[in-house]
Chain A
Amino acid sequence: MSLSLPTARADALAERPSGVQPWLLCLRGICWREFLRFLLQRGRFFAALVRPLVWLMIFAAGFRSVLGVSIQPPYETYILYEVYIMPGLCGMILLFSGMQGSLSMVYDQEMGSMRVLLVSPLPRWYLLICKLIAIVLVACLQVYVFLGIGWLFGIRAPVIGYVTVFPALMLAGLMLSALGLLLSSFIRQLENFAGVMNFIIFPMFFASSALYPLWRMRESSVLLYQVSSANPFTHAVELIRFALYGQVEPMALAYTCLWTAGFLIVAMYGYNPARGFMARTGKGT
């Protein structure tokens, strides 16, 4: 190994970016790594697409004649069942991606690469939020590919909706990824995560407005209707549904913001070195 003399430390300090620049560089770096990992895992991309496509092409086609959807906002006329479940399937992609991203965080904890992130000088809450944003951006890319395939098959929203849906996708994705982050902070091993996913993902998805309007659910069970109304995933789906038609549903927006904040606060608690998973589980050793 050859050694050369060091650069002057004063020069190094002078070259260090200050202000918001390190924060932006950090965000860019984390997003870039997530995108690279996504490109390397093409199987993950196809799996993420195949799942909603199966629902759209097979399930929705089969149930089209069985499930009638009456006129309800944001729709101004009768719609096909495929049109109705499109926002729910977008939410499904975000839900699975959020959980997948969090799964990768459990993997990172086990493999040790999470430590590289956590010893960065930037605050831990910021690092974790950057990680979530990166996960959601990759998920949004998958949603847009899915929406594009839907467009090709004639399941179309107003053109402006494809723009206005982006902030809704980001917010809904953040909420679901924050939930995943929360789970990852309290899970010791990858094996446990699979079980938790079954207890979280499927109940969340089915007890929501993703596949059927809530008023239909009320006809069969008031309790189930109430549970579904309180389900964070329902709010995320409704936020996406309205945004896809260039509208804002204030209650869905408010609840999604509240759930996001709640999940984030508990997740940050979980990752706090004074109280959280590292000290409790000894993962740093």
Chain B
Amino acid sequence: MSSPQPGPQNALVIEGVSFAYGRGRRALDDVSFRVPAGSFTALLGPNGAGKTTLMSLVTRLFHSRGGSIAVNGFDLRRASRAALAAMGVVFQRLTLDLDLSVQQNLRYAASLQGLGRARAERRIGEELERLGVADRRRALVRTLSGGLRRRVELARALLHEPRLLILDEPTVGLDIDSRRAIVEHVHHLCQERGLAVLWTTHLIDEVWPGDQLVILGDGRVRAVGPIAAVMAQTGCGDLAGAYKQLTTAAKP
């Protein structure tokens, strides 16, 4: 695999990243790939492949023992403030405060990003409108459906207009319609805003033609590139077959 180069053309560059929990087995082993600016990159892998661990490293919840991570050209360790300011994150589990309203949750997130009041209010209005939840602005999060909560989390991640949007299995627990709506919305964001997206999932039907793929298996990158290239690598005629072959081969 060629070594990725940091630069403004890449919203995210991960190079040689490894990680282990305690003294146990390595959860990630020498992971390298890049997310080009304005691209939708799907990080595919079965349960236990290391996707969420990688997300925790990219969002600085963990520090990697080896390798480097750069967001928008800023090294996550040396320039963490600039790197974190350039990313928006939707975590796998719901992280909204259920007892607060949508608006209160978003105001809190805006303050953590250092947005002034006027700007925060405007951005909250814009994102809620765009996501079709403006009418639920004053509703308690507890009263929202799973799909609406996800939309609010997406709005929260976009408040500070990041260059890179990271979503860790954002459709877990959603019904088919809500899943489709979120997948479509994020793809549109990518196309219309030029936002780079790193979307982790184990569901290959969330991948669209034209997306970049990173297939992770047993903590290692098994394939990187456009769908056609990944299929060509395995000789399979469809993505499902290629994914199965790559991730099954990864298991010891």
A interface, CB within 8 angstroms of B: 1-7, 9, 12, 15-17, 21-23, 25-26, 28-30, 32-33, 36-37, 40, 111-113, 115-123, 127, 272-274, 278-280, 282, 284-285
Scan B97-132; emit 1 where CB is below 8 A from any A CB, else 0: 101100010011111111110010000001001111
Taking a contact as CB atoms under 8 Å apart, the answer to whether A21 and B108 are in contact is no
Contacting pair A6 B193 (CB below 8 A): yes
Residues of B within 8 A of A7 (CB): 126, 161
Partner of A33, one of B85, B108, B115, B189: B108
How many A-B residue contacts, CB cutoff 8 Å? 137
> Given A1-B184, A113-B95, A122-B81: A26 and B130 within 8 A (CB)?
no
> Interface code B181-192, partner A: CB below 8 Å = 1, 0 otherwise?
100110011001
Query: Are the CB atoms of A16 and B112 closer together than 8 Å?
Result: no
B53 interfacial contact with A, CB 8 Å: yes
13 A-B pairs besides A116-B156, A119-B84, A121-B85 with CB distance below 8 A are A2-B130, A2-B132, A7-B126, A29-B108, A29-B112, A33-B104, A37-B99, A115-B61, A116-B109, A117-B112, A119-B89, A122-B114, A272-B63
Q: Are A29 and B184 in contact (CB under 8 A)?
A: no
Q: CB distance B113 to A120 under 8 Å?
A: yes
Whether A282 and B95, one on each chain, are in contact in the complex, defined by CB atoms closer than 8 angstroms, is: no
Least distance between A281 CB and chain B CB atoms (Å)? 9
Query: Do the beta carbons of A285 and B52 come within 8 Å of each other?
Result: yes
Identify which of B114, B132, B156, B192 contacts A17 (C-beta below 8 A): B114
CA distance A1 to B158 in the complex (A): 15
Across the interface, name the chain B residue whose C-beta is closest to A274. Answer: B63
**Contacts A1-B131, A3-B192, A279-B62; A120 near B161 (Cβ below 8 A):** no
Q: Residue B94 at the A interface, CB < 8 A?
A: yes
Q: Tell me the complex Cα distance, A106–B174, Å.
A: 27
Question: B39-83, CB under 8 A of A: which get 1 and which 0?
Answer: 000000000000011001001111100000000000000001110
Considering only residues 136-179 of chain B, those with a C-beta below 8 Å from chain A are: 151, 156, 160-161
Given B85, B91, B189, which contacts A3 in the complex, CB threshold below 8 Å? B189
Contacts of A5 in B (CB 8 A): 192
| Complex Cα spacing A17 to B93, Å | 30
Q: How far is the CB of B1 from chain A (nearest CB, A)?
A: 25
The CA of A26 and the CA of B59, in the complex, are separated in Å by: 19
Q: Are A30 and B111 in contact (CB under 8 A)?
A: yes
Q: How far is the CA of A115 from the CA of B52 in the complex (A)?
A: 13
Chain B residues with CB under 8 Å of A272's CB are 63
Report how far A151 CA is from B160 CA in the complex, Å. 48
Q: Are B192 and A6 in contact (CB under 8 A)?
A: yes
Q: Quick one: which of B56, B89, B100, B104 has the most chain A CB within 10 A?
A: B56
Given contacts A6-B161, A113-B95, contact A119 B116 (CB under 8 A): no
Pairwise interchain contact B22-A284, C-beta atoms closer than 8 A:
no
A33–B110 alpha-carbon span in the complex (Å): 12
Question: Closest chain B residue to A113 by CB distance?
Answer: B95
Nearest CB in chain A: distance from B45 CB, A: 14
* Contact across chains for B81 and A121 when beta carbons are under 8 A apart: yes
